[in-house]
Amino acid sequence: MSTAARSETIPWEWYVSDDVLRREQELVFRGAWHYAGPLEWVAEPGERFPCQAGTAPVVVVRDRDGELRAFLNVCRHRGSVIAKERGRRETLQCPYHAWTYDLDGSLRSAPRSEREDAFDPCELALRQALVETWGPFVFVNTDLDAAPLAASLGPLPDQIDPGELVFRERVCAELGANWKVAVENYLECYHCPIAHKAFSALVDVDPDAYRLEANGGLLSQYGARRAGADGDSAAACQFHLVWPALKVIVYPGATNLSLGPVWPEGSERSRGFLDYFFGPEVPEQVQRELIEFDEQVGREDRELVESVQRGLRSGLVEHGRLLLDSELLISAFQERVAATLRVTS
């Protein structure tokens, strides 16, 4: 593909089209690895928590033998979601008609099933999903033939050692914008000097100092703390995107990492969360200050991406034009989106 072609954005109609969204759900999200939650949420047998893998509800559980498992969080009776919140029980029980499953997914009981002439519980186990971990992070995938998680993470584990990170809290967000708008905003700091004054005072966002790298499905940004900012001027920050839409963030300073997905709730709406982790030695006040700082950046970004969505909705301009020196990662992301959606075209 030529440089000129890469400079032109994907069609703006792709950010408002329900038809494109349906293809994205099928081709982009359905077979991907999705971050589910902290491993500590399923430390003991019987513990479970619900999560999402694209549009599919999934439940992660620790079975009686201590094995980590994941299942489609859908009752085999009439499709109700089973687990709706974190908890610990000896079984998984559907709240609709009390169909009850063991922690290995097998159907244990179904009220009134004994009145049926032909009812085989062995044929009605919960559908399995893949589950893997990276450090204290749990990932799930509903495609049983998917490549291992390591293939999606790429070189990320070589760059970040999650070590003894401890989960602090989850912060959820909703945006009135297409999921790709949110991802693309995250993938560049071209807007930072204008929109994020406090961030730009902390991190050197000059284009000669702020480094961009595209490595397959891993799109990365690297920056250093500005000289004169509080703390070690050599401290680095990292902002990674793991395809299709997982953000992994490390700020300069005290040991920290946050990660979480963005996923579509509609062609012009998206939702996501960030789970914040810190080293066990990091004081409470330092943790709170970093989360508040990051939330302020998020509020500033919300105004930007929702404004972009209003512009894209006009339908009077077909494409935009990228500046590849500063928006290299957006170009790489859009190339992969386009290649993925055209698989069946």
Span 111-134, pLDDT tens digits = 999 999 999 999 999 999 999 999
Residue 91 sits in the same domain as residue 169: no
Q: How far apart are CA 275 and CA 37, in angstroms?
A: 8
Query: Which tokens in the block code for residue 37?
Result: 């939650």
Residue 200 sits in the same domain as residue 286: yes
Residue 191 sits in the same domain as residue 145: no
Residue 119 sits in the same domain as residue 171: no
Burial class (CB in 10 A: 0-12, 13-18, 19+), 54: buried
pLDDT tens-digit readout, 169-182 = 999 999 999 999 99
pTM: 0.94
Residue 73 sits in the same domain as residue 92: yes
pLDDT at 1: 37
Tell whether 27 is covered by a domain: no
Tell whether 274 is covered by a domain: yes
First to last CA, the chain: 18
Residue 3 confidence class, pLDDT cut points 50, 70, 90: very low
Q: How many domains does the chain have?
A: 2
Q: For residue 298, give its domain range.
A: 3-16+160-341
Tell whether 23 is covered by a domain: no
Residue 48 sits in the same domain as residue 11: no
pLDDT tens-digit readout, 63-84 = 999 999 999 999 999 999 999 9
Residue 327 confidence class, pLDDT cut points 50, 70, 90: very high
Tell whether 25 is covered by a domain: no
Q: Which residue has the tokens 């070590």?
A: 163
Q: How far apart are CA 84 and CA 95, in angstroms?
A: 9
Residue 7 sits in the same domain as residue 109: no
Tell whether 29 is covered by a domain: no
